[in-house]
């Protein structure tokens, strides 16, 4: 029987916990970070109750310590996510996601006439943060896109 002390997603001994993911975004983050290639256990909780978000997703990655540089790429999907590094069941390091200056490969340009939508080219977006709402500028076609307008992410096989 579940009690308030019961963890829905089991604790990990060593690895990384990505918490405070907006509900429904965990699978996208798994793709962005390439976690489907990871050989050890990955636990994913979807639509978990959260005091802060109401509902949240959660990812626990066994035996892999993700760096800040790696996880900051998910900032466009989970800007308020927190990262905890776990060793011997203890949290040894905790940090928040920071929107990077450059986002590579994971976002598809919304301009259908951009060369990146016609040829095999990795997308590169420069993050512009002069305004309240960060925007992405495509390195190639120069088009600016507000973060909420990003509809498509690249899927890696």
Partner 1 sequence: MITETTFLSRDLITIDSLSKDDIIQILDVAAELKSNPQPNLLQGQILASCFFEPSTRTRLSFEAAMHRLGGSVIGFSEGDITSTKKGESLKDSMKMMEYYSDIIVIRHPLAGSAQCAADTVSIPVVNAGDGSNEHPTQTLLDLFTIRECYGSLDELSIAMVGDLKHGRTVHSLARACQHFNIRLFFVSPASLEMPKYVCDELREKGVKYSFHHTLEEVLPRVDILYMTRIQEERFPSRESYEQVKDAIALTPELLKQGKDQLKVLHPLPRLSEIPCSIDSTPHAHYFQQAENGLYVRQALLVLLLRRELC
- One residue of 47, 92, 129, 142 binding partner 1 per CB under 8 A: 142
148 binds partner 1 (CB under 8 A): no
CB of 4 or CB of 118, closer to partner 1: 118
Measured from the Cβ of residue 27, the count of other Cβ atoms closer than 10 Å reads: 14
Q: Which of residues 91-120 bind partner 1 (CB under 8 A)?
A: 111, 113-116, 118-120
What is the spatial order of strands in the sheet that 102-104 belongs to?
A: 102-104, 124-128, 135-138, 144-146
Are 21 and 71 in contact by the 8 Å Cβ rule? The answer is: no
For partner 1, the closer CB: 42 or 144: 144
In the complex with partner 1, the residue whose CB is nearer, 44 or 121, is 121
| DSSP code of residue 14 | S
Beta bridge partners of 87: 90
Residues that bind partner 1 in the complex, under the rule CB under 8 A: 111, 113-116, 118-121, 130, 138-144
């Amino acid at each position: 029987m579940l009690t308030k002390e019961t963890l829905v997603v089991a604790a990990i001994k060593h690895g990384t916990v990505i918490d405070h993911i907006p509900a429904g975004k965990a699978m996208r983050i798994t793709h962005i970070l390439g976690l489907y290639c990871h050989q050890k256990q990955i636990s994913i909780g979807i639509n978990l109750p959260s005091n802060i978000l109401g509902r949240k997703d959660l990812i626990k990655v066994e035996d892999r310590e993700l760096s800040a540089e790696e996880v900051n790429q998910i900032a466009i999907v989970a800007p308020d996510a927190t990262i905890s590094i776990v060793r011997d069941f203890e949290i040894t390091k905790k940090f928040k996601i920071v929107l990077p200056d450059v986002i590579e490969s994971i976002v598809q340009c919304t301009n259908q006439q951009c060369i990146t939508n016609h040829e095999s080219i990795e997308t590169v977006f420069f993050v512009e943060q002069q305004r309240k709402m960060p925007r992405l500028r495509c390195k190639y076609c120069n088009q600016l896109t507000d973060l909420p307008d990003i509809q498509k992410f690249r899927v890696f096989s």
